[in-house]
A and B are shown apart, each in its own frame.
Chain A
Amino acid sequence: MKPATIAKSASGFRPTVHHETLFSITWRHFTKHKLALLGMGVLGILMIGAIVVPMATDYDPGRTHILDKYLTPSLEHPMGTDGLGRDLFIRTMDGGRISLLIGLLAMLLAVSIGTSIGAIAGFYGGVIDNLLMRVADIMLTLPTLFVAILLTQLLRAGIVPFLNAGVVPIVLVVAVTSWMGVARLVRASYLSIKQKEFVEAARAAGAGSWRLIIRHILPNAMSPIIVAATLRVGAAIITESGLSYLGFGVQPPTPTWGNMLRNAQSELDYAPWTAIFPGLFIFLTVISVNYIGDGLRDALDPQHVE
């Protein structure tokens, strides 16, 4: 079902039908949200910076220069240096790559888990729905950060083989503690969409349950999923940086915005820049992502009034 606008042709008599795709409509609405566009710009620059800067320089972000420790920000070191004399600008960019990567991976995993569980619960209903939603409820009654810390400790103890390497534990933990919101949203969409006539028609045409769930209902439930997925990137970056800040996330020497702040508190008296810059980048990223999510929510809203 493509929405169509009927425009008067030049001759004024024969109307020409001008088709718009969902993407172009969304994009048109989205570009009206100036802050969302700004957020997209900022995020784009951050991503390019995080990829290009560490590649473009021959400065080794891990190498220590003990004589240059705690240099105040200057032209040579735009964000100063840390207690081991490492340039904070390069490290922040390098860490940004990993923080953004974790944010995206954790979002993908959380949204996949949430969508699958929500879709199955909403589509089948009954006992399955009840069971899955009680699991979500229980997860929602636990303080997620506490659970996340406990799980990382367990994964890092190597209880499950292969799941304790690199960014794997943190991505898993962030996803496992954050799929519930998406599941509830998706379940609600499936509950209402499965009543629609077109689903009935597809079923009558012989489509099986899985085909209905994936091919027929999912595309129609996409809007809230896209918005939730966008916002989840920001939330995942916040959770990752929080866990890493506390020392339960990605371990040094691999920098992330969170673990760069690890020692910052003891350095506040004489080197506040070590605390300011990595956090500022988390903040900039998350606020950009949230504005993009806000813009998408407005743009994808079917009741959107121009």
Chain B
Amino acid sequence: MTLYIIRRLLQAIPVLFVISIAVFSLIQVMPNNPLAAYENNPDISPEDLLRLEQEYGLNDPLPIKYGKWLSQMLRGNWGESLVTHRPVLTEIAERLPNTLYLSGIAFAIALLISIPVGVISATRQYSLFDHVVTTIAFMGQSIPIFWFGLILIIVFSVNLQNPFAGTGLFPHPPPLPLFPGGGIRTLGEYPPDPWVDRIWHLVLPVTMLSVFQLAQHVRYMRAGMLDVLKMDYIRTARAKGLSERMAIYRHAFKNAAIPLVTIIALEIPGLFNGALFTETIFSWPGMGRLFFNHAERGDYPVLMGILMISAALIIVFNLVADIGYGFLDPRIRYD
């Protein structure tokens, strides 16, 4: 097992290497000259410019440039933001925890709801509950998530008022929206209890971020369960007198969840896409919003840094999903 993990992590190196080459080439093709600021400076002569070019290695052959760039990358020097002039890694490190916090909760909630709903929907195929669930799940897969976010704001933060405004729970006097339309915590003079405030600010972004996954997971869990319930070994389990609950949850569930794990692994990059929209709409200070704000200004070092970090995270999460396979299906061997 340990060996398997080590080997998988080693396999990630070529992937990251290729991405680093792509990142480097993109920086190279960018039409900007680091010395552009000096070009019109009367104190700097053309000879000085040439000397600076030599000194900074701007005329080195590409492989040498790449080598220098890579060795700096590996030492944690990812350059600095063209906008804030702070190190890229510092910028990302400040935002990453907020993204993981939001996406982690959305991911967990999507799983906690979709598994039981999918199982119940499958065990009562063609019931009213099943029809409602499959229809809603289909809608959830087709809705543009940024629009869903806007609708959530219209309903829950523009139109609905918070009935507890002005009480101990929410000291802010009315009118106060039912749920806030942005931010990670209340600023200003009427902060609610920190825990209440946290959850209060999470409700809408988590709903927005989890809707697609929720819909997808329900469909896969339901389909997986329907397949497994037709199997002979489930009939055997029922025939030998096991209760329906035992047959479903002890015998069918683990096998039915295998397709779900596959789809989860495939969806991990999608979680980052969702985070970009959610964080942008709900002014959530995470990595997605950092990417959006800096993309508008063409801040390539930060964009590349975020791309590298998310690729690395996606590789790690994929590995976790693969290990999850082994837990569900002992036939899968890691060797």
Q: Flag B162-200 by CB within 8 Å of A: 1 or 0 each.
A: 000000000000000000010000000000000000000
Chain A residues near B143: list those with CB within 8 A. Answer: 283, 286-287
**A interface, size bucket:** 35 or more
CA distance A269 to B175 in the complex (A): 14
B147 touches A279 (CB 8 A): yes
Whether A142 contacts B142 in the complex (CB less than 8 A), given A246-B280, A264-B150, comes out as no
Indicate which residue in B26, B138, B273, B314 contacts A145 across the interface (CB closer than 8 Å).
B273
CA distance A171 to B331 in the complex (A): 43
A144 close to B (CB within 8 Å): yes
B142 touches A283 (CB 8 A): yes
B26 touches A154 (CB 8 A): yes
CA distance A291 to B150 in the complex (A): 24
Of B68-76, B249-257, B288-296, the stretch lying at the interface with chain A is B288-296
State how many angstroms separate the Cβ of B324 from the closest Cβ of chain A: 18
CA distance A269 to B155 in the complex (A): 11
A142 touches B277 (CB 8 A): no
State how many angstroms separate the Cβ of B276 from the closest Cβ of chain A: 5
B276 touches A265 (CB 8 A): no
B110 close to A (CB within 8 Å): no
State how many angstroms separate the Cβ of B204 from the closest Cβ of chain A: 13
A287 touches B150 (CB 8 A): no
CA distance A150 to B23 in the complex (A): 11
CA distance A142 to B150 in the complex (A): 26
A48 close to B (CB within 8 Å): no
A163 close to B (CB within 8 Å): no
Closest to A278 in B: B147
B144 touches A141 (CB 8 A): no
A157 touches B31 (CB 8 A): yes
Dominant SS among interface residues on chain A: helix
Chain A residues near B276: list those with CB within 8 A. Answer: 143, 145-146, 246
CA distance A294 to B315 in the complex (A): 31
Chain B residues near A137: list those with CB within 8 A. Answer: 15
B285 close to A (CB within 8 Å): no
Chain A residues near B46: list those with CB within 8 A. Answer: none
B18 touches A143 (CB 8 A): no
A153 touches B298 (CB 8 A): yes
B307 close to A (CB within 8 Å): yes
A147 close to B (CB within 8 Å): yes
A110 close to B (CB within 8 Å): no
Indicate which residue in B29, B30, B291, B311 contacts A141 across the interface (CB closer than 8 Å).
B311
Q: Flag A234-258 by CB within 8 Å of B: 1 or 0 each.
A: 1000100110011110000000000
CA distance A264 to B154 in the complex (A): 11
A275 close to B (CB within 8 Å): yes
Q: Give the contacts of B271-306 with A (CB-CB under 8 A).
A: 272-273, 276-277, 280-281, 291-292, 295-296, 298, 303, 306
Closest to B275 in A: A143
B147 touches A140 (CB 8 A): no
CA distance A268 to B277 in the complex (A): 17
* Ranked 7 nearest A-B pairs via Cβ: A279-B147, A143-B272, A287-B142, A145-B273, A286-B142, A275-B150, A143-B269
What would be 14 A-B contacts, judged by CB atoms less than 8 Å apart? A141-B15, A142-B269, A142-B307, A143-B311, A144-B269, A149-B295, A158-B31, A241-B146, A265-B153, A265-B281, A275-B151, A279-B144, A283-B142, A291-B138
Known: A153-B295, A279-B150. 12 other contacts (CB 8 A): A142-B269, A143-B269, A143-B276, A146-B306, A147-B307, A150-B26, A159-B31, A241-B146, A246-B146, A246-B292, A283-B143, A286-B142
